[in-house]
Chains A and B, each alone.
Chain A
C-alpha cells in the first residue's frame, strides 16, 4: 500500500474540516494510506514574514521535514496550497544550498533533530493525478457527475512556483480530475488569479474585488459549481460570497466545493459523513443532483 504523510496544516483542523474529512475518505477509498507526522508544527503560511525573519520560517519548516524523514521518510502530501508552497520552497532552498542546510541543522540540533534532504513535498492534486492516476480514479466512480458544469478554480499557490506537476500559467490537472468524475470542466480566464488570500481579514474591499472577479469569470462561462484545492480559496469564494454580492451589487449564488468533496460524491461515499457537504455554507446538493 502506498503511504504518505498527510500534512493537514492548521486550517484543515477547523475552517476547512470538510476538506480534511473528504481527503481522508477519498484516499481511503483509493487504497492510499495517510499518516500524520508526529508533533508537526505550523508551516507559517505566507504571512509569517510579518512576525519572523526568513531563517525562522526555514527552520519552522525544516523541523517538519526532519520529523518526517525520521518517522519513515514518505512523501509529504499537503492539501493546503499555502502549506504546500511554503514547505516545498524551503525544501528546495535546503537542497540547493548546503551552507543553509548546515546552518539550519545547527539550529535543529536544539531538538536533537537533523535533516538530510530526502523528503519530497507534494500537493494533493499532484498525488491524485500523477501517483493515483486518472484511470484509477475513473474506475472508482460509481455516481458520475454527469452534466454538472464545474469551474475548477486552481488558485495561485496551488501550482507554483516551480511547475513541478502542472503548468504555472495554464494548469490542466484540476480539469482532468473534474472530467474523470464525469463532470464537465468549465474554462474561464481567472482560473489561477489570486483570490485575495489573507488580505480578506485586513483589506476587505480589495478581497471582495478579487473574489468577485473570479466568481464573475467562472459563472459567466456557465459554472454551476466551483471547486478548489486550497482552504483559503474556498473560504474567500464561499464564506464571503454574500459580502462580495453586497459590496459589488451582484447576486452570485454558486457553491464552492473542495475537489475531494466532489470525488467523494462521485465515488458514492456518504454525502455528509465522507463528503461533508453539510459543512458547506452555500448548499451544493442540488447542483450535484445527477450523482445523488
Chain B
C-alpha cells in the first residue's frame, strides 16, 4: 500500500497566515519562481528570502517564520511587487507577517521594532511625526543611559542637521511632544476602530 503523505505536514500555520495576516492569503498565488528573492536589495543579508518564507509558511514552520529576522528587513522599495509575475504583493505580505509576529509576541528585529513603534506612537499621539521626537523616543526605548549613548553615537549627523536648519533642537529634549493636529481625538477613535476591524483584530 502506498505510504500516506507525511503526517508532519501541518496546514494550521498557513491557515493562520491566510486569516490573520494582512495580505497573507496572497501567498496562495506564489509559484516559487524566486524573482522576489533575486530582486530584493537586501537578499544577501537574509537567511530566508521571501520565496523561502512562503514555502516555510506552507510547510507549517510557524516558529521559524515568525522569529525570522528576515521578515523585518524590508526597505519597502516595491521591486518585488513590480516584478512578481503572479502579482503577489510580496512586500505587503512581509509587512503583514512582521506585524503579526510582533502582535504574537515575537520580536524578529529589536531595533526595527523599537523604531517602528516610536514612529507609530508619534502618529497616534499627535497625528503627525516629529522626526526629532520619533528618533529620540527610539533611542530612549532602552532607558536614559542607553539612549544617551546611542544618541551620542549619532551626534555627527545630528549636529550637521542642526547647523543646516534641518533639525529642531526642542524635539530632542525628553518629555517634549510634537504639535497635535486639531482633530487628534477623532483620529484616535478612527485608528482604534480600524485596529479592531482589521485582519487579526478583535472584531
Contact = CB atoms under 8 A, between A and B. Distances in A.
Partners in one complex: yes
Contact of A50 (B73, B119, B195): B119
Interface stretch (B5-13, B30-38, B48-56, B185-193): B185-193
Nearest to B166: A15
B131 A49 contact: no
Contact of A194 (B75, B111, B166, B195): B75
Contacts of A202: 109, 111-112, 114-115
16 contacts: A39-B183, A49-B99, A50-B113, A50-B116, A51-B116, A53-B194, A53-B200, A56-B191, A56-B194, A82-B76, A168-B82, A194-B75, A201-B115, A202-B111, A206-B42, A281-B161
Contacts of B78: 85, 156-157, 160-161
B111 A53 contact: no
A180 interface: no
Interface size class of A (residues with CB under 8 A): 35 or more
Contacts of B193: 59, 107, 110
A51 B95 CA distance: 11
Interface in A260-284: 278-281
Nearest to B182: A39
Contact of A157 (B77, B124, B160, B194): B77
Nearest to A67: B183
B156 A39 contact: no
B120 A279 contact: no
B102 interface: yes
A202 B187 CA distance: 28
Interface string B37-69: 000011001000000000000000000000000
* Residue of B81, B114, B190 contacting most chain A CB atoms (<10 Å): B190
Given A50-B113, A239-B160, A45 B191 contact: no
B15 interface: no
Interface string A30-70: 00000000011110111111111111101110010000000
A116 interface: no
Interface in A1-52: 10-11, 14-18, 39-42, 44-52
Contacts of B156: 242-243
